[in-house]
Structure 1
Amino acid sequence: MTTRSCPCGLPEAYEACCGRFHSGAAAPTAERLMRSRYCAFVRQDAGYLLRTWHPRTRPERIDFDPRMRWTGLEVLETDRGSAFHSSGTVTFRASYRGGSLHERSRFERVDGAWVYVDGEFLE
């Protein structure tokens, strides 16, 4: 039996990678949170996305486009965001069928847990 790697691009199986964060474990870094959020978009897990969104910028709900098919994630740069920081950024390119999204996301810690604040779209 072959185990597929996690949609976030790391070689681990989903259950051992982003699945554990989706099930309640805290992401240890801003990058791991960003990867787990990408995976949540792939899996259309609105609950996880809302739980990991900063309270001051969180929308009331998330509406997924049923035609959207995410096809890959490339982390381009991280700045801060480790266990020793209270904020950080992750620049990434998320590919989807027909195009890609290039973003620099900002993350902060709230009550010790990493959360997504907002993002800036890049060219």
Structure 2
Amino acid sequence: MKISVNSPCPCGSSKKLKKCCKLFHNGLNASNALELMKSRYSAYVVGDSKYIMKTTHEENPDYTDDKDSWSESIKEFSKNSEFNGLVILEFIDGENEAYVTFKALITQHGNDVSFVEKSKFFKINGLWLYHSGVID
């Protein structure tokens, strides 16, 4: 989805995309797992597959060394999804392991889908990475 950097950030903050999650997409490191989770959601909205891949832990089931097909799959998902909102339900911070529970509202092929996921994040060499998620 093409979205202007002057649009409200998809993560739900009151900031413009360019003053919020775009900073992370451009290289700023998230200071905690919540920032990473919200910036990853925004990356899906704008179709930034490179950011999604860069911030995914190697133990994640979606992680693959075939970057071309992984990137294409992320872009396809983003292109075929309308992202209608993100609600943070819980954030459990930790020094090297953290959890974010969120509700995402998405429309795919005309069908409204909402799901709740509890995501696990690890801090590796000072960088937060998305490890895995359990959907309720």
Query: Is the structural similarity TM-score above 0.5?
Result: yes
| Residues 1:48 and 2:55 are matched in the alignment | no
2:45 partner amino acid: V
| 1:112 aligned partner | 126
Where does structure 1 differ by over 6 angstroms across 4 or more consecutive aligned residues?
A: none
Aligned-pair CA distance for 1:4: 2.9
Q: Would you say 1:99 and 2:113 are equivalent positions?
A: yes
Distance 1:117 1:18 in 2: 20
Match of 1:6 among 9, 25, 43: 9
Q: How far does the alpha carbon of each residue in 1:98-121 deviate from its partner, in whole angstroms, 9 at most, with x for none?
A: 121210000010110100000000
Structure 2 residues without counterparts, runs of 5 or longer: 1-5, 65-69
Once the two structures are superposed, residues 34-62 of structure 1 have per-residue CA deviations (whole angstroms, 9 ceiling, x without a partner) of: 00000011111110000000122252214
Identity of aligned residues (%): 33
Question: What SS is found at the alignment partner of 2:92?
Answer: strand
Residues 21-36 of structure 1 correspond to what in structure 2 (within 5 A)? 21-36=24-39
The structure that is helix-richer by fraction is 2
Q: CA deviation at 1:94?
A: 0.7
Structure 1 unmatched ranges of 5 or more: none
CA deviation string 1:83-108 (max 9, x = no partner): xx111000000101212121000001
- Find the counterpart in structure 2 of residue 39 from structure 1: 42
CA–CA separation in structure 1 for the residues paired with 2:125 and 2:25: 18
The residue number in structure 1 matching 2:19 is 16
Q: Which amino acid aligns with 1:93?
A: K
Q: TM-score of the superposition, structure 2-length normalised?
A: 0.81
Residue type of the alignment partner of 1:52: T
Count of residue correspondences: 117
Letter matched to residue 8 of structure 2: S
Corresponding residue for residue 59 of structure 1: 63
Residue identity in the other structure for 1:11: S
